[in-house]
Amino acid sequence: MKIDMCYFTFPSTYWALTGERLLREQGFVAVKLRPVPRTLSSSCGICLELPLPLAEKVQEAIRSLKIDANGPFNRDGQLLHETCHRQGGNNIDYLP
């Protein structure tokens, strides 16, 4: 069974490395850095790849840790609003 993956992109290598480190410290060991798929914006050229079922929890952690990231996106570059919908919250494609 193949697990669908999702991606977060970053404006710089600094944020990609920092994001991975902070998320791993929070227990998200399934996240990994990889080259950005060609279907996504290349920003800094590095993205965070993770299993789709973790998208909402990782998005919440990114917000709370104030990591500068965009996403989550599917492999086709579509923002995953439906997957990461939060009750009473905003769906955003840029996380300050």
3-state SS of 35-95?
ECCCCCCCCCCEEEEEEHHHHHHHHHHHHHHCCCEEEEECCCCCECCCCCCCCCCCCCCEE
Res. 56: pLDDT tops 70: yes
**Average pLDDT of every residue of the chain:** 82
pLDDT reported for residue 1: 61
pLDDT reported for residue 81: 56
Cβ atoms of 5 and 51 within 8 Å: the answer is yes
Please report which helix (H) or strand (E) contains residue 16, including its range. helix 13-25
For residues 40-57, give the mean pLDDT.
88
Domain count, the chain: 1
In a domain, 55, yes or no: yes
pLDDT reported for residue 87: 30
Domain that holds residue 39: 5-84
pLDDT reported for residue 84: 40
Look at the block and give the residue holding tokens 């492999």.
75
DSSP classification of residue 7: E
